[in-house]
Every structure is written in C-alpha cells, then in structure tokens.
Structure 1
Amino acid sequence: MTATPAPTGTLDARYSRPDARPSRWGEVSEVLDTAETYWLSTVRSDGRPHVTPLIGIWDGTSLYFSTGDREQKAHNLATNPNVSLTTGNNALQGGLDVVAEGTAVRIGDPGRLASLAAAWVGKYGEVWRFEVRDGDFWHEGGGLAGVYEVTPTRVFAFRKGDDRFAQTGWRLG
C-alpha cells in the first residue's frame, strides 16, 4: 500500500512575517489529534453564528464530534451542515492554532460508531465511554447523541510567537 503524501500548505504572506515558513502538515495533524477541546462554529437558521466548545477525535483525515438532537448545534446542522472546528491555545506569544472547515455528516453505521466510541475512551478516559444504540452514541449522563464526521476541505494554521507569526492554508478534497 502506498502512503498518501501529506498535503502542502501555502504561506499567506499578507499575515506572516517576511521570513516566515509555512507550517508543516504533520504539526497541524498533531495539534488536531492531541487537542482536548475544539470550538465548533455553526450557523443558526436566522443566520446568526453559534459557537460552542466540545470534545472530539481526529483520525488523520476527519474530525468527529457528537451532540444531542435537542442541542442548538444539532438544530443548526439540520439546516446548514457547513462548520468550522477550531483548536489551539489562547496565548499570543506561542503555539499553533488550527481552523478546519468542512461539512458535518451524521454517521449511523454501528461498526464505525463502535470504533469511534473506543477512540473517545482512549483519548478522554472512562467518563466518556459511550454505547452504540440505534445509530447514535448513548451515555447515561446525557442520553442519545448523534455523531458527526467533518472531512476538512480547508485548513488554516496560525503560528504565533515573537519571530514566528505565520498563516498557512491548505485546500483539501
């Protein structure tokens, strides 16, 4: 099997220091993989933005998150599945912030859900153990939750620091 080459990012000189270098995809993937919290941006039916923190999984290709059907983000996704997921840190003088844009697609396949449920426990511990029931996650503390996959079509990385400010972008898929 041939490994898929890492995508190549393009440095945006408008928002980067003159001597900046583009971020490497491996760094971006690591930030997405190790993040404990992501910020999901959706759009309400009246056009207003909605942003909420959540936990999720990055598998190297796609981001996954869950939400109950009664939550605002689930209502938003039903009318407009376009989302941004953001992670990084809130420090100005260091770190790498990442924004992934794409379309959220609800997953119902029991096998995939079981694999994702195991990934949630592996990343977040037993408190986030989900059962798979009727095409959703189920958790005693929260009931049923739909699981969504976002395969990014665009990704942006914002490197910060005294001499490292750089914005790199990727067009995927």
Structure 2
Amino acid sequence: MKERRGKFLLALALLMTCAAAGTVAQYQTELGGMDSAEIAHFEITSSELDKAKTADIKLFETIMDSDGLTPETDVAAGKIAPGTSGSTTIAVTNNSDVNVNLDMTFKLEYNGLNAPLEFSTDNSTWNTDITQVQPATTKLDMSTGKRKEITLYWRWAFGESQTATDTAIGEDVTALGTNQPEVTVTATCTQVD
C-alpha cells in the first residue's frame, strides 16, 4: 500500500507541476509592417533620333540657297555646292518620372575632300568645327518643359576666297559620289540627382 501511495503522490506531483506550468501568465504580441515603392519610369523619345543611332536626321534633305530661305534651283537636287545651305530640327522629349539633363553633340566626317561647311545652332554664329557649336546642357523637367527642340544649321559659303578649294573638291572625279559629308547627332539624357 505504501508503494501504491508513493506512486500516487508522485503522479499527483507530476500533474500539479504540469498544471502549474500551464497556468503561468505571460504577455505576448507580434508587431510588423511593410512598405513598397514604385520604380520611376525612364523614357526619352525623339522622332528624329533612335537608340540604334541609325535614324536619318534629314540635315541635307532640303537644300536651300545661301540665304537659307529660298529653295536651291541652281544646283542639282540632292547635291550640295558653294552657296547652298540647310537645317534640321531635332526634338527630344522626356516622358520619364525623373528630371534629366540633355547633352547634344555633333560629329562631322568626310569620305574624301573636306568641303568647307559651316555649322550653327543659332543661325548667326558659324564655325567650320562642328564640335564648337554644341548647344548648352538643357534640363528636361518631368512635368514642365519636358520637350526641347534644337536646330542645326549648315551652309557652304559662296565667295571668291574659297574658289580654288571649292573647285578642287568639285573636280575630284575619283571622289564624286563618295565625297560626302556625314553628320552624326547624339543626344545623351542623364537623370538629375
């Protein structure tokens, strides 16, 4: 009997311990939170330029007389010569959710003799070095002023001072058809920090 009573007391003690352990009071809570962000859209467009850098900027498409206003009638269509001129306007639009700075650069290459072409972005200050007529950096705001148009003008001055050079270029039959000035325009848009 004593053995039975000892087992009973042991079992009772175990039950009391388990019961007491289950009734221990405590506080417990969990807190949390989250957030997300939408990534800003970045999109720059131009109807005159493309990402492949192969778009035809049409700088030499419409040949004008030396005044820049009258269509050229004294030179064959599609050809340039002393006394001709032209221009093209390039528009860049910021469709982004960020402000960007626009830097536009010009490059001129020849396949043959160099015609003494002059370039300008304001139609009044002319330079034979096209890299010297780069427009200033322009901020394209995401909400206002998001479109910028830059006009590039060219001319081949007509006059006596260049006659020998101009004639040599025109008479170079080995270069005819390949003696072409090629202008490249690059617009770089960089997010403003």
One fold, TM greater than 0.5? no
Which has the larger strand fraction?
Answer: 1
Flag the structure with larger Rg.
2
Q: Structure with the greater relative contact order (CA < 8 A, sep ≥ 6): 1 or 2?
A: 1
